[in-house]
Chains A and B, each alone.
Chain A
Amino acid sequence: MTAVLEVVMPGLLTTVQDRGRHGYQAFGMPVAGAVDEYALRIANILVGNPEGAAALEMTLLGPQLKVLAPTKLALTGADLGAEINGQEFPRWQTVAVATGDEITFKAATSGCRGYLAVAGGIDVPEVMGSRSTYLRGKIGGLDGRALKVGDHINANSAAAKKNIQTGAQLAPELMPRYEGPITLRVILGPQDDHFTPTGQEIFLSSKYQVTTDADRMGCRLEGATIEHAAGADIISDGIPLGAVQVPGHGLPIIMLADRQTTGGYPKIATVASVDLSHIAQAKPGDEISFEAISRSEAIQLLKEREAALNEWAKSLPEASGRIWHFSIGINGQTFTAQVEEVQ
């Protein structure tokens, strides 16, 4: 275990996240984990980690980091204007960094959440089987909180499953796009029958805007109100990821990673798994509309995407494992460099 990054500035909300704390929802424990699991998985694949390794999730305004030990990084998700030593930090590819490198971010130009994976995965203790930070429960990640100035991020780079060659990139057909209006494909139910036919039609034909009241728990939308058939209360039941809940005010809330496990509002629809990353990257003001598809269509889309993702992951070029590190002194200043042997 080595300290690989030092937090110079923490950014707006930067937390350690993996694929979530599963198996405890029956006890009221929210799942947490990366809001955009797809971007997290790709970042991990690009540095040779298991897909569910812990990485940094950065929200709208990224942090400022200093590299403490040479390693490989991959940045995916939102474009937060990242730079390494003042040069563009390319997203969706494997990047080697050296001791002393400075990673900075500007504000988000597209998308909402960026993911930074470190070879070997971020090393923090597991709590209830996960390294995810659950802020309200104050557990996981770094002492259950967001990053702060002076924190050290540890990783065991030697533990990476594969040594992916620097410059490896995501296949273009797997690249998500965060610009423009978002159409979320949904599967109606479980409680679509709690809304009037007019209410259901309004839900599927209206354009909604993401409000500023959007966080890791849920994304609240504004727009045309959806009419309930007989009141907005149901007997509390389980809330799946991506559930579109409609409380008494008639406006939809899309439930995300930190959602409460149960709730008493009817859920008109549930976002298809393949479209969860789109809502994860929506910013306040973005336009959202909904399109109903069947459950089998949603599963087919998921199968196709997973097959393409696996194929790409398998095709990634591996480095030979031999890396040379140089330290060069020029005019009293020390520069570090690394050279990687490729096959």
Chain B
Amino acid sequence: MYEQPRLLPAGDGALVVEFGNEITPEINARVRSLTAALEAESLAGVVELVPTYRSILVHFDPLIMAPEVLETRLLKVIDGLAELKLPEPEVTMVPVCYGGEFGPDLDYVCEHTGLSTEEVIKLHTGTDYLIYMLGFTPGFSYLGGMDERLATPRLKTPRTHIPAGSTGIAGKQTGIYPIVSPGGWQLIGRTPLKLYDPFRDPPVLLKAGNYVRFLAISEDKYREIAAQISDGTYQIQQKPLSEGGAAK
């Protein structure tokens, strides 16, 4: 973490507030604190915030606010961050049906890591993953905290069509595809949850700063939840992080 955050110009309508140059929960917590403070404070001229791993892109209207004035005000808000208490993170339970047609690369991941199917599922469901940021495509969350024993390189030839909800591994990362996309992740399972639905409020299910926990479900359970989601009766399970750690 830098001693003083760096302010970098990003054109005439945006600037970057950068807290450090590594991916750590501490730096990311600073990003979230400043985001929360700016959302509460609503500085004149600030139009949109894009928080990421270690920085925030602050979009402003230069016809309303001179960037030099905005920078001074931002530094003042940053100075006051120590007193700000972040809300307790929530853990969102993401049910995943592992293997079979939903996880065509599960066998490859076992082969590469030398672990059994049960061990892969146990390790993958055994952690609360911090949502560092969202980006790339609507609702895609960058998760931190995967057990390194699960690390598997990407496919040599990416797939052209990956169904929404597919859950996979790429190197040391794990993630869920929110929309149908091409991609090279090793697919180990699929969730029936809709991470992104433009006609739902909110359109995106997961939030930066919260956590994700994967729960292994059967194919029957997958279809049951999918049906409940389509008729609007499914209740997404969320609880505060302090109320129990990862499923052991």
Contact = CB atoms under 8 A, between A and B. Distances in A.
Contacts, number: 141
Interface stretch (B82-90, B136-144, B215-223, B232-240): B136-144
Given A25-B48, A241-B11, A273-B11, A127 B136 contact: no
B208 A26 contact: yes
Contact of A238 (B47, B52, B137): B52
Interface string A219-242: 000000000000000011111111
Contacts of B202: 27
A169 interface: no
B13 A273 contact: yes
Interface stretch (B55-63, B98-106, B121-129): B55-63
A190 B16 CA distance: 7
Contacts of B21: 235
A241 B12 CA distance: 10
Interface string A231-256: 00001111111110000000000000
Contacts of B49: 26
Interface string A28-65: 11100000000000000000000000000000000000
A303 B57 contact: no
Contacts of B48: 22-23, 25-26
A209 interface: no
Contact of A240 (B22, B53, B59, B133): B59
B8 interface: yes
Interface residues of A, number: 43
B203 A236 contact: no
A299 interface: yes
Contacts of A27: 134, 138-139, 202-204
Nearest to A269: B11
Nearest to A144: B198
A187 B133 contact: no
A128 interface: yes
Contacts of A30: 138
Given A128-B203, A187-B9, A240-B11, 20 more contacts: A25-B50, A27-B138, A28-B135, A189-B8, A190-B10, A190-B16, A191-B8, A235-B52, A236-B136, A237-B16, A237-B18, A237-B55, A238-B14, A238-B57, A240-B14, A262-B50, A299-B12, A302-B62, A302-B63, A306-B63
Nearest to B141: A28
B23 interface: yes
B185 to A, nearest CB: 16
Residue among B18, B51, B137, B198 having the largest count of chain A Cβ atoms under 10 Å: B198
B38 to A, nearest CB: 11
A273 B10 contact: no
A271 B9 CA distance: 12
Interface in A53-86: none
Top 4 A-B residue pairs of the complex, sorted by shortest distance between their CB atoms: A238-B57, A262-B135, A270-B11, A238-B50
Interface string A13-27: 000000000111111
A113 interface: no
Given A127-B198, A235-B21, A28 B140 contact: yes
B136 A261 contact: yes
Interface string B1-33: 000000011111111101001110000000000
Contacts of A241: 11, 13
Contacts of A24: 138, 203-204
A295 interface: yes
Interface of B: 8-16, 18, 21-23, 35, 47-57, 59, 62-63, 66-67, 133-140, 142, 178-179, 198-199, 202-204, 208
Given A235-B22, A240-B10, A260-B135, A26 B66 contact: no
A241 B47 CA distance: 14
A236 B142 contact: yes
29 contacts: A22-B47, A22-B48, A26-B51, A26-B134, A28-B138, A29-B139, A127-B198, A127-B199, A137-B138, A139-B198, A189-B8, A190-B9, A190-B16, A191-B8, A236-B133, A236-B135, A236-B136, A237-B57, A238-B52, A238-B56, A239-B57, A242-B11, A260-B136, A261-B50, A261-B135, A262-B136, A298-B11, A299-B62, A303-B63
A136 B12 contact: no
Nearest to A139: B198
A226 to B, nearest CB: 18
A267 interface: yes
A260 to B, nearest CB: 6
Interface string A262-293: 11000100111100000000000000000000
Nearest to B132: A236
Nearest to B51: A26
